[in-house]
Structure 1
């Protein structure tokens, strides 16, 4: 089934050229199907690029998905046209009385700032608190995962001696969990961050399980048994050239940056990057939508109650 997205969203043309099945609002309303309602809280500065990356993955599913877009009212984005925000985005105040099957909270390039110093931290805390009763399953990405682990459980982040930058091999710790159904024994994920969360802090919280990690990149996937929240520290959604764009930008600005690991053939930035993570990314998002959203969410979203009272397909909320 297709992904239903707003008419005239810039991502539509890109996705259609890639044979991602999209559906405009008019056609979607003609089908007698209750689509999954997904909220995308987009904290990235390049919002249009992030929209396209995530819609590409959400659209590769047999489920019909309806996506709403939210941005923080307490921060004025500088890299996205105001007209785009007005046309396609809403604020928390505008959506807080709705309920959603799922929500994605993206990363943001602010991981070296203390959480409390982030301009929109208070608003983000309100949104994360709201998600407990109004969203069936929430997927947090990179800084969004660090922020949620800190907010919900007080788990700190730590500065890294150098940026975790590249495409790294990962393994699955709990193969029986449906999030990683169909994954290879070793799979690759892009990372681009200056901070990390640590296994020893997560292991102190009995409500959390570490589902996947990397010898080089550390903890990758964590699940919250009580609230059905998932925390993903990497960027499976990245396009083939996203790391190249970040690398070229930092080089041009004279910033200290290593060549992204396991990305260019022979570590040569003059060559075309090798994509190693696309199949795992598609599996991750389709498994989340199917097993952690669709299989558990109530048909009538108005019956959605505090998520600690609900259980996912794996049992015990995981």
Structure 2
């Protein structure tokens, strides 16, 4: 899948992002080539494509972006999702035959007890090694971030006592260009069972850029020949992503695919919805049956989550970083 993204190219998406006019404009410059290595689980596969395309469109200003989609071949897929990847995505071997300014690498659904036992571990670590010297910058998201720091520096993620799930207020803790003009507070979606501890990152030479008092480290970086940017959260998530995950986990509880009823996402549903969901949880624990999912109440989100505006600003800064060398190359011609 290769798509040309510019401000005149309309793409429908549910992503929660600001209108085009709300973002500061860059001067037109050289075209950028961005690759998305989309390893998200099958139900989120197409949504992840749309979310990142919409974010790049909102962040790019007048700059044009050639956007290529890939997926690690070792990620297990349903027949339908496998057909989509094979018919719409570029072959991963093409990645090393082209020149990419930046990469975005998503996480994948864990299927093994340890990261280095995952069936996609070798493909993912090979990608880490290649990206270090063949991109200007690469973004590693969620599980991909955890896998990358384990491979690079032996930093093991730690299991959380409960899932970190919700919209969290983060703050910039450095004057790095990536955090320039970010909204305060920076509202970011997190959805994970594990974390990388800040002290472990600092000891290994990583720089933390944003953190949350409740969710811990959010964005951190390390400079190689490529600038590696790591997200523990999901700034790309659209307004309904956490809702879909929560309802999926409720469904898994009702069909006894998981033992524990999921916690409500933090700072996500409005107060009336939370009250309804607490009552539904009591009913589900008492009458655990798949058919009960038909009785879930209508869900309304808080009015102030606005995660997409923060993500668009963050990606605008990332594209400006990628574009600096590209613009210089154009001027030198």
Deviations 1:143-172 (A, max 9, x none): 111111111222110111110011111111
Q: TM-score, normalised by structure 2?
A: 0.77
Size of the alignment, in residue pairs?
280
SS at match of 2:211: strand
Q: Which has the higher contact order (CA 8 A, sep 6+)?
A: 2
- Measure how far apart 1:74 and its partner are: 2.2
- Measure how far apart 1:66 and its partner are: 0.7
Farther off after superposition, 84-93 or 212-221:
84-93
What is the match of residue 213 of structure 1? Answer: 211
Q: Which has the higher helix share?
A: 2
User: In structure 1, what is the Cα distance between the partners aligned to 2:29 and 2:325?
Assistant: 17
CA contact (8 A) 2:37 2:104 kept: yes
Task: State how 1:278-317 maps to structure 2 within 5 Å.
Answer: 278-290=308-320, 292-297=321-326
User: In structure 2, what is the Cα distance between the partners aligned to 1:121 and 1:106?
Assistant: 13
- Measure how far apart 1:293 and its partner are: 0.8
SS at match of 1:74: coil
SS at match of 2:301: coil
User: In structure 1, what is the Cα distance between the partners aligned to 2:182 and 2:18?
Assistant: 23
Deviations 1:89-133 (A, max 9, x none): 123223212221000001223287312111111011111111122
SS at match of 1:230: strand
Deviations 1:167-221 (A, max 9, x none): 11111100x2111111233221111100000011011123x11111111101011
What is the match of residue 261 of structure 1? Answer: 266
User: In structure 1, what is the Cα distance between the partners aligned to 2:229 and 2:18?
Assistant: 29
SS at match of 2:161: strand
What is the match of residue 305 of structure 1? Answer: none
What is the match of residue 177 of structure 1? Answer: 176
- Measure how far apart 1:297 and its partner are: 4.4
1:19–1:223 distance in 2 versus 1, CA, 3 Å: closer
User: In structure 1, what is the Cα distance between the partners aligned to 2:329 and 2:134?
Assistant: 12
CA contact (8 A) 2:75 2:108 kept: no
Q: TM-score, normalised by structure 1?
A: 0.81
Structure 2: gaps (5+ residues)? 21-27, 278-297
CA contact (8 A) 2:142 2:234 kept: yes
Task: State how 1:36-185 maps to structure 2 within 5 Å.
Answer: 36-45=32-41, 46-60=44-58, 61-62=60-61, 63-78=63-78, 80-110=80-110, 113-174=113-174, 176-185=175-184
User: In structure 2, what is the Cα distance between the partners aligned to 1:54 and 1:149?
Assistant: 23
1:240–1:111 distance in 2 versus 1, CA, 3 Å: farther
Deviations 1:206-252 (A, max 9, x none): 3x111111111010111103331000110111111111111111112
Structure 1: gaps (5+ residues)? 6-10, 22-31, 302-318
User: In structure 1, what is the Cα distance between the partners aligned to 2:242 and 2:12?
Assistant: 23
- Measure how far apart 1:13 and its partner are: 4.2
Q: 1:273 and 2:271 equivalent?
A: no
